[in-house]
Structures are given as structure tokens and as C-alpha cells.
Structure 1
């Protein structure tokens, strides 16, 4: 009987459940630029919602947002980086290699009030960079690119406060403290892209503190089965970054989106545009793909990223 019950629950989750309380998602990316080569990242995130999320209200991808579902999450991201570093003045050329591990926990809550629902979030992330050879770790030549791949540990904390000022329209402002410039927001990597996440942490820079602001809206298109979503974000640290995103939901299951990110930080790709497509095979299972092209105006480090992702809800 126990086996039959488990099989029945699994079948319901895979074929048509309209409510869920847990979501697990994974992502893998491959990227290449003129400095790095053979680089890839992998990430996984688990989210627990305190109440059942009704996924019948609109686009399946935005069910939690439309339900104003309070939750807690944990995430992990792994990156493998290799690069050919040259120091012409010393006639030195060597391949360097490093691995990066990022861990994060996050909580989001929506609190009803007499006026509007209030939104709050808090997150903590820790990144560890592990150099895989002596050249990378010791950086004997003082090359700036090598230093970025050296050993290191970094923490970052973030708080956000906001409100749902109109149906499905969130406005929030926040504060982020980064103890190390290369401490990444693991959740940003999953929701956007590894290059965009790196651009964001580079924008905050050595100031270690940043002010953030963002808006998000999802709404139905009248007289159709379609919906549209918009997001805008701002990061103000040592430099300034802004991001625009839009998704068109052709049906509750199928969507396609575009994004554009720009930063005044000159040491990484300064602009990035991306496209994505996502499809829910069932209300509980989704697959997707994304592509990002990042342009470095002040260097030759143009970057292209291709990724795939999947979600499972139960």
C-alpha cells in the first residue's frame, strides 16, 4: 500500500497537479570568451513554500509571484574556469585554472496590511574560489587577471523591502553588503545568468556596499490566453548597473523572453543581452534554454553563454 501511495503521488505530480509546496530547479551553462576557455557552471536550488501555491491563476512560471507565496530557499553554484594568461613584459604565458563554489540561503515573505501587501527578503551567500595550480594561487607576476582566479573566500548579505502597489506589481528597494568583490549572489546566477551575476558583483566593486531597486509586473493580455511580464532593476555601488527583462507567455505553459543589462564597470563585459524560452511539459515539470551575449567595450573579453535548465514541483 505504501508503494502504491507513493506511485500515485508521483503520477499526480508529473501529470497535472495544480498546487505545489516544493520546487527544485537545476541549471547548466557553457561559456566562452577570448580570455577564458572551456568554462562551465552548474547550479541547483530548492524552495519550500509555507502554503500551497495555486498554479492555475496564470503563467505557470510565475505561480509563486502571483500567489504572493512566502518561502525559504537554499542554492548552490559551481564554476570551472580556465584561462591563458600572458604577461608580455616578462615573456610569461601559462594556463591557469580555478573552481568556484557559491552557497546561499534566502527567505521571502509577503505580509498583508490594510493598505497594500508588504514584501521583505533577506539572503546570505558565501563564495569560495579554489586555485588549482601555484601560478594562479600565488600570482607571482601581479597580473590583475590572475588575481581574479586566485584563492579566496567571500560573504555577502542582502535585505529588501517593498510593496505590491497594484495587482501583481511589486516595487522593492534593498541594501547589499559584499565582503569580497567576487562573492556572488547564487540566486541571481539561477534567475539570470552567470555572466550577469559576475557583472553585478563587479559593479558593486570595492565599496562593498550597494543600494538596489527593482520592479516586477505580470499581467494578462485582454481577450487572449496570453500574459506579459516586465522587470527592471538597478544596482548602485562603486559603479552603476541596470537591467530590463520582459517575458511573453503565449500560453500558461510556454514563454519566451529577452533581457538587457548594462554596467559602467569597465573591467568586465559592460553590456549583455539575452534570450530565453521555457516550457512546462506538465504543471509540475518544466524545461528551458537561454543564450546571453556580453560585450566588453574596453577589452577583448566578449562572452557568449548557452544554458539549459529544468524545474520539478511537488
Structure 2
């Protein structure tokens, strides 16, 4: 069984778009998502359910920004909490993976520097049915906690470059570099470009490269596409997942997104929504 955290994806251009809105602010948001996961060439199937809440230390001004990128462009420091559950079933076997996290993103005032920190926790539960002379049962793990820290720079408006460090892992054994740049175009149009690279000597995945581009037709609606390429510490060929996604704000405070991923091992369709206050 190969389990990967899949990016979000595709959409239809039939979302309604609103005209240019006046300046509005928000200070918190709640997002939820559901994904249906289909494992290729297998009877295995699964789903993912996620919930995340974010509180910004100061109101976020959305004026003249794509609504989805306002907090990023404004360098809005925040506290966030996330919950997630993956479930996979095959021939009566069932595997549940539970995730929870808490973290903070902090932009040091009047500087270009960014810091982040948090804790990720994960546990699993495996259930199998009775078969022949063997009884069914359940095996559960305890919560496994791992802290992380992030550091980066935001030298110009709309650009952040950062790296992440994880508990008990030396930089010489695993390192990464990540970037995100929101580029304003004519009118309300904009371009979001994201890329990351991770090199690891301690995990099955040796090199991981991701890239994403979102085009904002206006401040409400975006269409995007990207990929995740993984090379392994074995003779196995590298794998690549491709995805497309769309997001639309029906009002300044309510949005929906649709995502489709097509991978070498699995595909998924995810529907998500966000409410801002």
C-alpha cells in the first residue's frame, strides 16, 4: 500500500464570478475538504476528510489582491490548527490514519524575515476481519509527535522563500527549499507560482520536486495545475502525479474549490470550502 498526501485539484470554469469588490477584511477562516481516493489497478479504495482553522493576529486587508492570496501578500502572521483522517479499505481490511497539527507563521515586523514552528501528530489503526481459523482484530498505535521549524525571507511583495527543519533530522541527511511568488498582472489578473525541492538520505523518497501555477482570471476565480515528482532510494523508477485545480470566491468570505489528481499509483477528487469571518 502506498499512501501519499495528495495536492488539491481540477475544476470547471462554470463558477460564478463577482465584480470587483470594495475593500474588505477578515481575521479568521475555517476550511474543510473531502477527497475520494481510487488506488490504480487495485480493489483498494479510500477517502480523506480534513478540517483547518486559522486565526490572524491582525485583520487581513483584501483590497486589490486575489482573495485567495490576500493573507500571503499582506504577510499576515497567524496561528492554525488542522485535523485529518485517511481511510483505506481492501478485502475487508481497513487502515485509518489520523493526523492533527498546530502551528504558527510569523513575519517579523519591518523586516524581510519569516519564521514558523509547530507540531505534527499522527497515529494509525488497522482492522482486519476473521478468516478461517483466524480471528479478526484491531491494532492501534499511539500518537507520534514531531515538531518542526521554518525560516525564510520575503524580500519583495508577494515573494517568500523558506526552508523547513524537522525534529531529530540533521540538515545533512534531509534538506529542502521552497518558494512562492504571487505576481500581479493587468487589471485583476495575477499569477501564483510555487516550487519546492527536498533531498533525503533517510527516507524511501530520495528526491521530491513539486511545481504549481495558478492563474487568477480575476480576484475571485483561479485555475491551476502542477505536478509532484518523486525519485526513490531503490531501482524503482520515479513517479509523477499531475493535478489540476480551481477555486472561486462567491463572496469575499465564502469560497469553494475542486481538485483532481492523476498519479501512477492512485487518483483522487477533492472538494473543499472556506468561510471567513
Same-fold call, TM > 0.5?
A: yes
Q: Aligned pair count?
A: 242
2:118–2:148 Cα contact (<8 Å) kept: yes
- Paired residue for 1:25, among 27, 31, 35? 31
Partner of 2:8: none
The aligned counterpart of 1:122 is 117
Deviation at 1:269, TM superposition (A): 7.8
Tell me the equivalent position of 2:255.
286
Question: How do 1:74-223 residues align onto structure 2 when only pairs under 5 Å count?
Answer: 74-84=81-91, 95-113=92-110, 116-133=111-128, 151-152=140-141, 153-177=143-167, 210-222=174-186
Report SS of the residue matched to 1:64.
Answer: helix
Gaps spanning 5+ residues in structure 2: where? 1-20, 131-137
Structure 2 distance, partners of 1:120, 1:273, is: 30
Task: Give the structure with the larger helix fraction.
Answer: 1
Alignment partner of 1:305 out of 237, 261, 268: 268
Alpha-carbon contact 1:71-1:108 (below 8 Å) kept: yes
> Does residue 1:52 correspond to 2:59, yes or no?
yes
Answering whether residue 233 of structure 2 is matched by residue 243 of structure 1, we say no
Q: Aligned partners of 1:269, 1:72: CA distance in 2, in Å?
A: 36
What is the CA–CA distance in structure 2 between the aligned matches of 1:16 and 1:23, rounded to whole Å?
Answer: 19
**Aligned-partner Cα distance in 1 for 2:243–2:155:** 28
Secondary structure of the residue aligned to 2:218 is coil
Runs of 5+ consecutive residues of structure 1 not aligned to the other structure: 1-14, 85-94, 136-148, 180-206, 296-301
Counterpart secondary structure, 1:65: helix
TM-score, normalising length: structure 1: 0.71
Whole-Å Cα distance in 2 between the matches of residues 39 and 256 of structure 1?
26
Among residues 52, 61, 64, which one is paired with 2:68 in the alignment? 61
TM-aligned CA deviation for residue 117 of structure 1: 1.7
Q: How far off its partner does 1:36 sit? A: 5.3
Q: Which has the higher contact order (CA 8 A, sep 6+)?
A: 2
Mapped partners of 2:253, 2:237: distance in 1 = 37
Distance apart, 1:109 and its partner CA:
0.5
TM-score between both structures, scaled by the size of structure 2:
0.80
**Whole-Å separation in 2 of the counterparts to 1:269 and 1:275:** 20
RMSD: 2.7
Judge which range, 50-59 or 30-39, deviates more: 30-39
Asked if residue 40 in structure 1 is aligned to residue 40 in structure 2, the reply is no
Aligned counterpart in structure 1 of residue 231 of structure 2, from 264, 274, 282 = 264
**Contact 1:16 1:284 (8 Å CA) reproduced:** no
Greater strand fraction, Structure 1 or Structure 2: 2
